[in-house]
Amino acid sequence: MKLGFYPRLASDGIRKNRRMYLPYLMTTTAMVAMHYIIGYLTVGGALENVPGTAFITSLLYTGGWVVAVFSVIFLFYTNSFLIRRRKREFGLYNILGMGKWNIGRILLWESLITALISLTAGLLIGALLSKAAELMLINLINGEVNYVLRVSPAAAVVTISVYSGIFLLLLLNSLWQIRSSTAISLLRSENYGERPPRANWLVGVLGVLILGAAYYIAVTIRDPLTAVGAFFIAVVMVIVGTYMVMISGSVLFCRILQRNKRYYYNPRHFVSVSSMVYRMKRNGAGLASICILSTMVLVMISSTTSLYFGQRSALRERYPRELNLQFYMKDASYLSDENVSSLLWEVEAVNTAQGITAQNVYGYRAASVSGLLEDGEVELDSSALSGFNLSTFSSVYRFIFMPIEDFNGVAGTDYTVGPGEAVACVFRSEIDCDTISFTDDVSYRIVAKPDTFIPNPGSSMEMIPTIILAVSDLDSLGELRDMRDYNGFPILQYTWNYNYDTGADAEAQTRLYDALRDKFTSNPTLSEFFGFTGRSIECREVESQDFLSLYGGLFYVGIVLSIVFSCAAVLIIYYKQISEGYEDESRFEIMKKVGMTDREIRRSINSQLLTVFYLPLIFAAMHLIFAFPLIKKLLSLLQMINNLQLFAITTGLSLGIFALLYMLVYRATSNAYYRIVRGAR
């Protein structure tokens, strides 16, 4: 046998089945290119001189492995379409005397050819697009751009290693399917599933109940902390419920259509419904996969887009003023008016030396403690919290006690409180109690609950909600001032907070920030004199690069993964249409012989596709709508977005754009289906 016999058979098989192989090769090429680009941005050193990209690098590294793992799952899924289509051809080879060892050699050469094309084209496209991807990312994070074009050998080696392993696994899976099949089963592989499946009411009803429970969890969760655990539970329930409803419900749906005589015995619907009944069980799994992928795309792109376009407001919430200073005091005695005034004089001395005049100033004294609030009673023993579950932890709050004069000065109010009274401001939660008791002699009656929240930088970082209690003075804390935790440290943490704008440019703000850090960090005499044990000095301009890098990086990774999952959904739709077209080809051929026209074929195809094609989009939109409150709480918990209007707008736009893309895919794939069933070549 000639040396080139098997390679020629393999290449001929790919060429003759190009309608199936071309989208597959395009997908594998795109995934190789995407993986190379991610590797170029991480291990390739493209971002090594860009400040604030440590988080992005780790995020992209994780995203690269997500793409690789998804490639394994998805390529196994799509490869099954190819093998199923080729089994009849291999069965014919087997009948004509070619052994399974010989068929295995053909599969080996096909795998080598597809791997060579995918890796070569993917690496070439990735190398060409890597600089554009780098510039896009740097632009998103406001970094310094350079236009040096280079290729990363390290990224190429990693990509070749990963996808060579994936192609090897695909080959082994194909060889196993051929080895475990007889010649007759190979010849009849395209006719499997011809027996109509039975509608399983129990599975369908159970799927609806699971989906309903997941929706209930999503819309009833009130506090963000509980949303963390509930999110993953709801995701699993939605995936399981979607598959159960799609697989069982789609069969039931076709049965209902058949019982509707006016609908079923219509030339437009008769052939389409009859053909769908026989494959709806497998069809339902494909529809569920499309639905889940569509939901993933919508959730990712809407969330990351909201984050990116809301980053400026989030930055201002995290850093309410250009300079934010916080001094941690040894005890309440160091929060006296004299000590605070002297410490303020030291801060102003640095401002004056740097030519800065403080603007939009607000400062306040505070004492804080964390505890579990239930029915107006606060549990302060942190060791007692270890036995509580996640839902109990949702009642944990950070309490900030503030003198009423400091509160009024910052909030611009004129409240007055007496002994045992407090004004309460709640951030990221709600309370319905009228009294909050900490100990037997420390209890406060809530006299007002204003919406005004003190812009405290620390609260925007806390995962637990915050309650500010404006009291008569910090001396009213009574025995709380003497209480210790199980390590022997005071439970109350005393701070003096001073926040202000400078009106200066970025360079001047950075110099002021450095001067403040030098003075209050490297001078132990000052800390001993003023009684502070630690300090936090933050400059919005200095911190903005890391902050914006986080949001830009999340947006970038969201775009990358959305592209990958969208391509996967499109390819599943395409293969679904192509495989069903080949299955229906003989049926429509018979109908043409008995007088069915091309126009009637087209109308029947549209009826079939419209009956089920938009189900995944409808379910994905429904999943997104019910997930909206839960995702909003998660983003709020991570201090990433509190702008409900922005999130709603970006979610709606994402759904609209994706629906438009979905319709375009429908148009393209329905034409491919039509060309097959009408016998066009």
Among residues 629, 620, 662, the alpha carbon closest in space to that of 648 is found at 629
- pLDDT confidence of residue 176: 84
Give pLDDT, residue 387: 47
**What type of residue sits at position 304?**
T
Please give the pLDDT value at position 137.
78
Token pair recorded at residue 530: 């003023």
Tell me the mean pLDDT in the region 275-279: 60
| Helix, strand, coil percent values for the chain (each to nearest 5) | 70, 10, 20
- In sequence order, the β-bridge partners of residue 501 are 359
Look at residue 98 and tell me whether its pLDDT is greater than 60.
yes
Confidence band of 388 (pLDDT split at 50, 70, 90) = very low
Q: How confident is the model at residue 185 (pLDDT cuts 50, 70, 90)?
A: low
Kindly report the average pLDDT of the chain as a whole number: 79
Cα separation of 305 and 465, whole Å? Answer: 25
pLDDT for residue 271: 63
Specify the pLDDT at position 155.
87
Between these two residues, 307 and 470, which has the higher pLDDT value? 470
pLDDT tens readout for residues 206-217: 888 988 888 888
Q: Measured between alpha carbons, how far is 559 from 67 in angstroms, rounded to an integer?
A: 12
Of residues 112 and 236, more confidently modeled: 112
The mean-pLDDT minimum among 308-322, 445-459, 584-598 falls in: 584-598
Check pLDDT > 90 for residue 566.
no
Backbone angles phi, psi at 156, to 5 degrees: -65, -40
Task: Report the pLDDT value the prediction gives residue 451, as an integer from 0 to 100.
Answer: 80
Mean pLDDT computed over 89-94:
70
For CA atoms 416, 419, 421, 423, give the dihedral sign.
positive
Q: Look at residue 421 in the predicted model and tell me its pLDDT.
A: 92
Q: Which of 98-102, 230-234, 265-269, 477-481 has the lowest mean pLDDT?
A: 265-269
Give residue 610's pLDDT: 66
> Which of the given ranges, 137-151, 258-272, 648-662, has the highest pLDDT on average?
648-662
**Above pLDDT 70, what percent of the chain?**
79
Alpha helices in 389-488 (DSSP H): 390-393, 404-411, 457-461
Residue 103 burial by Cβ neighbours in a 10 Å radius (0-12, 13-18, 19+): buried
What pLDDT score was predicted for residue 120?
Answer: 94
User: For residue 100, what pLDDT is reported?
Assistant: 73
Query: What is the average pLDDT across 582-598?
Result: 70
pLDDT given for residue 224 in this prediction = 62
| pLDDT(197) > 60 | no
pLDDT-based confidence at residue 345 (cuts at 50, 70, 90): very high
447 membership: H or E segment, kind and range: strand 443-448
Could you tell me what percent of the chain has a pLDDT over 90?
Answer: 16
**435's tokens:** 């009294």
Q: Is the pLDDT of residue 506 over 60?
A: yes
Q: What is the mean pLDDT of residues 563-592?
A: 75
- In this prediction, residues 444-469 reach a mean pLDDT of 79
Dihedral, 336, 339, 341, 345 alpha carbons, nearest 10:
-170
pLDDT of residue 681: 44
Per-residue model confidence (pLDDT) at position 231: 75
- Mean pLDDT confidence for 67-91: 76
More confident of the two residues 30 and 496: 496
Mean pLDDT (whole number) for 114-132: 90
- Give the H/E segment covering residue 374: strand 359-374
Q: Is residue 641 predicted with pLDDT exceeding 60?
A: no
pLDDT at residue number 405: 92
pLDDT at res. 190: 53
pLDDT of the residue at 193: 46
User: Among 96-100, 137-141, 332-336, 371-375, which is the least confidently predicted range?
Assistant: 96-100
* C-alpha dihedral, 153 to 154 to 158 to 164, nearest 10°: 20
**pLDDT tens-digit map of 129-182:** 888 888 877 777 766 666 777 788 888 998 999 999 999 998 888 888 777 666
- Is the pTM higher than 0.75? The answer reads no
284 pLDDT higher than 80? no
Give the residue from 12, 18, 37, 16 showing the smallest Cα distance to 559. 37
- 1-15 per-position pLDDT tens digit: 556 777 888 888 788
Helix, strand or coil, per DSSP, at residue 402: strand
pLDDT digits (tens, 9 = 90+) for 394-413: 678 889 999 999 999 888 88
Residue-level length of the chain: 681
- The answer to whether residue 617 scores a pLDDT higher than 90 is no
pLDDT at residue 112 is higher than 80 = yes
Instruction: Identify any residues that bridge with 484 across adjacent strands, giving them in sequence order.
Output: 490
**pLDDT for residue 326:** 92
* Residue 389 pLDDT greater than 70, yes or no: no
Q: What's the mean pLDDT in 317-324?
A: 86
Taking alpha carbons only, the member of 84, 81, 83 closest to residue 106 is: 83
* Alpha-carbon span 546 to 555, nearest angstrom: 14
pLDDT digits (tens, 9 = 90+) for 10-32: 888 788 877 778 888 888 888 89
